[in-house]
Structure 1
């Protein structure tokens, strides 16, 4: 009788341990999502919202005014939507994104951004993605125009821009952390589309320039040398820029190890600054700042990508990414808009400047990285 009771106790312990291990596994494995919070469900909502919404209006925000040009937040959301459609094999959804682009070859041609700034040239990422998913050369030609002009110094370039170009960097270099998505994204897309290594080589060299100049000892970045604040979304652009670059950068590239080291150093520090609720702050390392969602989504994407590619420890960073995602889903309202998104932010040497930034609902700066996260979870 005593032996039988001991066997039952042993079985109970085994069952308890099994449940515990399964629960722990769910914390860092990207499955078993609560109802309504899975990447596929959220991704479909955010993608659909974008397709039902007109082009955004920078500097021309009155609802009766037409948009002036396609802005980089539109680009980022458009790109994320097509990535998501590919990851879910949703051809109907993809056609929606392609149909949205078609007028830019005709009646909306005036909305094509001028290739004269990092925020404009990233537009080329969208037609390059369209080319890779359709094979239509018109998309390739348009996309490469933006990738190439990022390295073609115009006659009216300023002395500082010419100086960077003379050293082999993009003339659009300005040493703002935002640039390390805007530049590397279109160059990485051009490499994916053409397999021409010049695009990925120069993107990697550009990234190393920024790492050398502005990465701090703890792995984070100031917004710019003259703005010594670790602004959340700014660091998000850098985190995603490195992750996107490393996804396609050949391991034999001379800059691969340095970029990977910079990426891992940043991820390690981000892990320490994640709040108990799962989000990161508007200024990452200042506990008095508010919780901000766009930067959080970007860090989440970078961590998911690192886990999926084996760069980061799955148990540690997978749990962090899943915690962040579930927290982010709580900020998506009934109209499929992400809340607590920092408004577009220029550099300024003022703590008050960053803490007082408007908090926007449904801004594409937040919608885009939410789509990226959904895609990253679903990629094979």
Structure 2
């Protein structure tokens, strides 16, 4: 697709992302357990709350601003972050750390840059010293409590692949910004420990999570968006580290990425997308995970890590993503928030709804496809 065609889609997606509105924590007080199993969590649907869907959304918007090499969205960022500081942030957890990732790149351009820098540094310090840890000192995947802005769900002794994108990328970037080698070392450790417990040697794919109380990967399901957090996240991480990363560690990460990419290549549907349960072609095809996979594959090709067969696969995915963008810019066929399940049906039963991260990940993939 030409840059002109891609930019037309991009601007539709961005306009929708910035005007998604908001659904708040209070509405979740009436959500039933059955609803949450389908992914119906009200705070996730808009752009106005402070949690992981919004954090991923803002990161996609930052990436587009970076492509243009100007500050065209700074007024939006200024209003969003300043408004939340005035309101007061929700509980500290892995998922509410996600909005700090774009902020760690943006704070120097915001009016109260010193205050925002201090806010980022305090959150990085919290990850290091106060966030509960699993055995092997992994970041426990503590999440926001449903219906309680100040509460958390501990998910005790659990590692989730989402953590790498939601918190570890931020910690690593703050290590660069602040010159903190201890933070940089911890980011390396978290990638290593998550690979140790979540990478499946037989398939080359990633499990959604691991629990230390039973020493297993829950139901052993290979979830599309979960895998995509690694596909795209590891390339973001390697680029952020530049040449500072130990060469042996870098090679280990690249080899893991290549193994996963080869597995994903075999599982791509004829449409160009991937199924929400990667190994189950009766599960629906899901756009947000497919978009992050495409973005990661494109980055891998540009870096010379992956060969041209991956370019062709990514191009098919980009075309499919564009077909799933409605006339008003809504990214279609995006699965709602997804906790860990024991069966494929758990993932297949998650509702399809417009989400901030669906807009953002489609945006990210399309930006990666642009020719500079």
> Do they fold alike, i.e. is TM over 0.5?
yes
Residue 50 of structure 2 contacts residue 90 of structure 2 at CA under 8 Å; is this kept in 1?
A: yes
Matched, 1:300 2:294: yes
Matches within 5 A, 1:148-297: 148-153=125-130, 157=132, 161=133, 164=135, 168-170=137-139, 172=141, 174-217=158-201, 218-224=203-209, 225-249=217-241, 250-252=244-246, 254-297=248-291
Give the 3 Å change call, closer, same or farther, for CA 71–237 of structure 1 in structure 2. same
How far apart, CA to CA, are the structure 1 residues paired with 2:357 and 2:23? 11
How far the C-alpha of 1:323 sits from its partner, in A, is 1.3
How far apart, CA to CA, are the structure 1 residues paired with 2:199 and 2:306? 20
Matched, 1:72 2:73: no
Tell me what 1:316 maps to: 309
Superposition RMSD in Å:
2.7
Q: RCO higher in 1 or 2 (8 Å CA, sep ≥ 6)? A: 2
Tell me what 1:144 maps to: 121
Matched, 1:331 2:346: no
Tell me what 2:105 maps to: 129
Deviations 1:54-89 (A, max 9, x none): 34435726999x999511100111111012112113
- 260-269 vs 90-99, greater mean Cα deviation: 90-99
Residue 21 of structure 2 contacts residue 48 of structure 2 at CA under 8 Å; is this kept in 1?
A: no
Residue 45 of structure 1 contacts residue 336 of structure 1 at CA under 8 Å; is this kept in 2?
A: yes
Tell me what 2:19 maps to: 52
Residue 51 of structure 2 contacts residue 95 of structure 2 at CA under 8 Å; is this kept in 1?
A: yes
How far the C-alpha of 1:297 sits from its partner, in A, is 0.6
Residue 55 of structure 1 contacts residue 74 of structure 1 at CA under 8 Å; is this kept in 2?
A: no
Tell me what 1:21 maps to: none
How far the C-alpha of 1:92 sits from its partner, in A, is 2.5
How far the C-alpha of 1:289 sits from its partner, in A, is 1.3
In the superposition, the TM-score normalised over structure 2's length comes to 0.81
- 70-79 vs 363-372, greater mean Cα deviation: 363-372
Tell me what 2:94 maps to: 118
Give the greater-gyration-radius structure (CA). 1
How far the C-alpha of 1:134 sits from its partner, in A, is 5.0
Residue 229 of structure 1 contacts residue 283 of structure 1 at CA under 8 Å; is this kept in 2?
A: yes
How far apart, CA to CA, are the structure 1 residues paired with 2:102 and 2:90? 12
How far apart, CA to CA, are the structure 1 residues paired with 2:26 and 2:185? 35
Q: How many residues are aligned here?
A: 333
Give the 3 Å change call, closer, same or farther, for CA 239–113 of structure 1 in structure 2. farther
Residue 19 of structure 2 contacts residue 47 of structure 2 at CA under 8 Å; is this kept in 1?
A: no
In the superposition, the TM-score normalised over structure 1's length comes to 0.79
Tell me what 2:35 maps to: none
> Moved runs in structure 1, 4+ residues, more than 4 A?
61-64, 66-69, 132-135
Deviations 1:21-65 (A, max 9, x none): xxxxxxxxxx635x64x1x3322222222222334435726999x
Residue 58 of structure 2 contacts residue 99 of structure 2 at CA under 8 Å; is this kept in 1?
A: no
Matched, 1:350 2:343: yes
Residue 275 of structure 2 contacts residue 284 of structure 2 at CA under 8 Å; is this kept in 1?
A: yes
Q: What SS does the aligned partner of 1:175 have?
A: strand
Matched, 1:32 2:5: no
Deviations 1:219-275 (A, max 9, x none): 101222113110111111122221211112334255222111111110111111111
How far the C-alpha of 1:171 sits from its partner, in A, is 5.2
